[in-house]
Amino acid sequence: MTMRTILTYPNPLLRQMARPVINFDEELRQTADDMAETMYDAPGIGLAATQIGDLRQLIVVDISKEKGEKKFMPLVNPRIISSEGRQIDEEGCLSVPEITSNVKRFRKVIVTYQDITGETAEITAEERFAVVLQHEIDHLHGILFIDHLSPLKRQLYKKKVKKMLAGEARPF
């Protein structure tokens, strides 16, 4: 497995639409494994291929039941086919550093996807797991969680990033 670099805001690749996966081959499985390793190293609980600059409809999510466990699930070409209820939960994103915020999401979603071998499947997710799936599927559409915030909050974050980037550019 190889660690990949996670792209961060405002990298324009994060705004691209991901393409459906057609080839279910060894390379796809390898990419999913790399993404999982990168996610656990970060550490995070979900990662979309877009975040490593791979514009395919592929996400990995952590499904570990116990602490220290590293059990993940790759979802290929995932699509929300049904949703209900509302919940507000705190979110962060490996591609959007230095900010966490409450985001309003569906409380329950049903997602169709293909597994890493191309087999079609369906999963029902609720609460925190539903949040993770909605967040990662958003990435495949070029959407970041900060897009769900109020314009004022988003503006404050953009200013902060500008300052951080300016800071990085300053020679020491």
Catalytic machinery residues: 136
Give the span between the Cα atoms of 26 and 41, in whole angstroms: 23
Considering only the stretches 69-77, 78-86, 91-99, 115-123, report the one whose residues sit in contact with Ni ion under the rule CB under 5 A.
91-99
Measure the N-to-C terminal CA separation of the chain; round to a whole number of Å: 36
Interaction mask 39-78, Ni ion, x per CB under 5 A: ----------------------------------------
User: From CA 2, how far away is CA 101, in angstroms rounded?
Assistant: 31
Contact between 14 and Ni ion by CB under 5 A: the answer reads no
- Which of 6, 28, 45, 93 binds Ni ion (CB under 5 A)? It is 93
Q: Stretches 15-23, 73-81, 85-93, 100-108: which one binds Ni ion (CB under 5 A)?
A: 85-93
Of residues 93 and 109, the one with the C-beta less far from Ni ion: 93
Question: Which residues are within 8 A (CB) of 113 and not within 5 positions of it... i.e. 6 or more apart?
Answer: 75, 76, 77, 78, 79, 120, 121, 122, 123
Distance, in Å, from the CA atom of 103 to the CA atom of 146, rounded to the nearest integer, reads 8
Decide: 102 and 89 in contact? Cβ < 8 Å. yes
Rounded-to-integer distance, Cα 65 and Cα 17, Å = 32
Q: Which is nearer to Ni ion, 46 or 76 (by Cβ)?
A: 46
User: Which of the stretches 31-39, 88-96, 118-126, 149-157 binds Ni ion when contact is defined by CB under 5 A?
Assistant: 88-96
Smallest separation (angstroms) from Ni ion to the CB of 94: 6
Query: What are the residues binding Ni ion (CB under 5 A)?
Result: 93
